Structure 1
Amino acid sequence: MEFVIAIAPILGIFILLFIFKQSSLRAGLFAYGVAVLITILTSSFALELQGVFHASIKGALIAFIAAYVLFFGIFLFHLMNKAGAIDNIARFISRSTDDKILQLLLLVVGFSPLIESTSGFGTAFLVVAPILIALGFSGMKAALIGLVSLLAVPWGALATGTIIGAESGNIPLQDLGLGSAIISIPVFVYFVIIAVYIAGGRRALRNKWKEVSLFLLTFSTSILLFNAYVSVELAGVLASLITIGIGLAVINIKAKNNEAIDDAPKPINILKAVSPYLLLTVFIMISRLVPPLEQFLNAHFVVELPEYEFSLALIYSPGFWLFVSCILTIMIFKINRKAIQHAFKATLKQWIPFAITTSAFVAMSEIMAAAGMTTLIATIAASLLGTGFVFISPLIGALGGFLTGSNTGANAMFINLQVQTAQQLSMPPELLAYAQNTGASHATMASPSRVMLGASLCNIGSQEGNLLKNMLFIVLGALLMIMMMVAGWWWML
């Protein structure tokens, strides 16, 4: 009976999302309310009101780390969209080559990870899917490929979900980023092969295997090295920029004798279009790689609340550099006040539900942990499954990603459970944290909210069921790969 009570907040999320078809926002608030009621009405998980308040505030503070970054990430996207920079990038890609598979590779392995890494929130899909339709792909193919292109979610909006996972699970950020990169590499290969197959079938895979291999090798190697040696927050951005650069070099070599390349936009145009991303990358790199500056940024304008084990260096956070990039974007593109206001309103419309939902999930998780609910669930799971839990771990993460459509929300819900279960089983907590982070991230592309948006954006509303079924099938394949990677890693330890 105690187990049923302990797991009730999580079950409540399922019931609201799937039976009553409610939003993640309402499900998160409901689950938080259930967790609070359990601490008040039961003796097994009793917490004083002060304990509930403390856990709730701690959860909101952890969520603020992500919200701070995502607000300016979303704002940067809307500013660039208002300035026409996104359209210019799209036109540049479409005019660089007539080869649809090369166009697709640029979008899926280069442009989409870049947008997702800087803006998060699945924003890349909103950009990539319309471009695919403009390039001649059907609505269903554009929706499928656009959703599959969300392969860089662990590093979305400068890795906020991964940062939340590291904070909540008490796992070093670099370890979580590098472990997630290692496990994700075969998943990258899988998703890109799926995208190329959707676009051109087996023939495209046979004819373009060299180009596919080059893009994958560039992106995978880059993201691995940048996680290991530079910055987890910047890994997605840098890997995307390098992939785009090498991809364009390959296209230029192939089109060297093609007169159609003369119609492409001048290099200065594309440099201006991507300049906010380039500046953002430079700012964050300098802040991480110049020790005196790093020390200064970490020592000034720091919000510290020791009673909540919370510390945030405001001007060291990627959120600050995104803010600076937003200001420079306004100046570079000379965006007028009305457009800025529209971009700000659009940002608030997306950001407020995310901030509330994430806060509710993290606060729920903190209350469950403080009241002993998470420990009980972990103990029972460990006793029932033993080391076989390693196979279930990615599915738990995927469940959170599928339900919430957010790596941040999923990590907030389940990473404490994963880490505590690992401790119960005397397994490395980091390994199950990797499973959680990757499973949650790669399952977000099949979340009902994303699929519904995809069907609407690509004007295939009548085929939403088929789109969801296809995406679930694709994500299931990725989860099987993650399960094998995690199990193999555990076996080698």
Structure 2
Amino acid sequence: MITLIGVNHFTGPEIAGVSAGLVVLGMGLITARCKGPISGWPRSAWPYLALLATIGVIKCLLLATDISASVLITGKAVSWQPLASPGLALGIVLGLVLWANRRGDLTKELSQGPSQGHTQGYGAEWVHRSWKPLATIFFFLLMSQALLKGGFLTGFQAGLSQLTSTSLIPVAAVLASLSGYVTGSNIGGNAIFMASLTHLPVPNTNWLAAIQNSGAGHGALGSLSILALITGLAKSNRIEEAGLIRFGFWLVCVNTVLVATMGSLLIAFFGEG
């Protein structure tokens, strides 16, 4: 929390989340190191460390040079800056992983046995473990964009405008968590409902925007797309997948209640400004 507030204050929100993640990772490594040696962990986790480092370097370069604005792809309704996309860091690290895989330096297991056959088997394992989470993420994002671009949310905004300020808070929390749960992303969830909430004819739209942002982020924690990614990485079986999905659903429900409660208390104590 201190890192998020400090970095956001001095440099802006671009690298605040990454900086907080690095601090948490460092604290975890220090704690684990104090309890004993970390046997083999850094070698098996180097792609994740490389991804964090790549994201940090790219964010710092973009913050210092603003070069991302020079490469802009503009459509009818949206604009996209490829150099500011998270896919850039993922692509760089993926290239490093493939290069290390070809050289037999990815893990100790890759250096054993026939190189060509083992590499082909490892590639098949990648496809087997990645297709389900990638397909889940794709179709959930496709569904959210269909709701957004198809005009299906116009009725939601009309209905929300009829609610009182008191009843609007829990409804906004539920919609926020639902948007994060469906998209698996805080940004994607905000893209669905943020505009509808901030244009309501009520005096506390700033609080509603905060509720939407918090609810979408907490809803994304238990989303099916994120859980599919976790189960794919962990090689989970069907029983473990079902248990994790139930846990994620109840986690989102509890977080929704907490967001609605805290939003109501904040508005009650600090007013409807």
Q: TM-score, normalised by structure 1?
A: 0.42
Secondary structure in structure 2 of the residue aligned to 1:276? helix
Distance 1:233 1:435, change over 3 A: same
Deviations 1:331-382 (A, max 9, x none): 345367634565367545533453343233223223317xxx62x5324323
Matches within 5 A, 1:57-456: 220-230=1-11, 232=13, 234-253=15-34, 255=35, 261=36, 264-265=38-39, 269=43, 272=46, 274-291=48-65, 294-295=66-67, 297-300=68-71, 302-305=72-75, 308-333=76-101, 334=103, 338=120, 339-340=122-123, 343=126, 347=130, 349-368=132-151, 374=154, 376-402=155-181, 404=182, 406-407=184-185, 410-421=189-200, 424-428=201-205, 430-446=206-222, 450=227
Task: Note if contact 1:400-1:440 (Cα within 8 Å) is conserved in structure 2.
Answer: yes
Which protein, 1 or 2, shows the higher relative CO under an 8 Å CA cutoff with sep ≥ 6? 1
Structure 2 distance, partners of 1:413, 1:446, is 18
Figure out how many residues of one structure are paired with residues of the other and give that number: 249
Task: Evaluate the alpha carbon distance shift between residue 462 and residue 395 of structure 1 in structure 2; reply closer, same or farther with a 3 A threshold.
Answer: closer
Deviations 1:299-331 (A, max 9, x none): 13x2123xx132212123222222122212333
In 1, distance between residues paired with 2:250 and 2:217?
16
Structure 1 unaligned regions, length at least 5: 1-219, 256-260
Change (3 A) 1:458 1:359: closer
Cα distance, 1:393 vs. partner? 0.9
Asked if structure 1 preserves the Cα contact closer than 8 Å seen for 2:215 and 2:256, the reply is yes
Q: Choose between structure 1 and 2: higher helix proportion.
A: 1
Matched, 1:490 2:260: no
The letter for the 1-side match of 2:193 is F
In structure 2, relative to structure 1, the CA distance for the partners of 1:243 and 1:353 (3 Å cut) is closer
Residue 112 of structure 2 aligns with which residue?
none
Contact 1:362 1:409 in 2 (8 A): no
Helix, strand or coil at the partner of 1:486: helix
How far apart in 2 are the matches of 1:400 and 1:477? 16
Q: Percent of counterpart pairs with the same letter?
A: 17
CA contact (8 A) 1:284 1:318 kept: no
Q: SS of the residue aligned with 2:151? A: helix
Q: 1:364 to 1:272 in 2, by over 3 A?
A: closer
The separation in 2 between residues aligned to 1:343 and 1:471, in whole angstroms, is 25
Partner Cα separation in structure 2 for residue 467 and residue 346 of structure 1: 17
Q: For the Cα contact (< 8 Å) 1:276–1:329, is it kept in 2?
A: no
| Moved beyond 6 Å, runs of 4+ | none
Q: Distance in 2 between matches of 1:415 and 1:467?
A: 26
Query: Any conservation in 1 of the 2:177–2:218 contact (CA below 8 Å)?
Result: yes
Could you say if the C-alpha distance between residues 269 and 383 of structure 1 is closer, same or farther in structure 2, counting changes exceeding 3 Å?
closer
Amino acid at match of 1:288: L
What are structure 2's unaligned runs of at least 5 residues? Answer: 107-115
* Matched residue, 2:110: none
Query: For each residue in 1:182-228, what CA deviation from the matched residue of structure 2 results, as whole angstroms up to 9, or x when unmatched?
Result: xxxxxxxxxxxxxxxxxxxxxxxxxxxxxxxxxxxxxx222343444
The Cα of 1:234 is off from its aligned counterpart by: 4.1
Aligned to 1:130: none
CA contact (8 A) 2:176 2:193 kept: yes
The alignment's C-alpha RMSD in Å is 3.9
Q: Distance in 1 between matches of 2:61 and 2:99?
A: 22
Q: State the distance in 1 between where 2:94 and 2:249 align.
A: 36
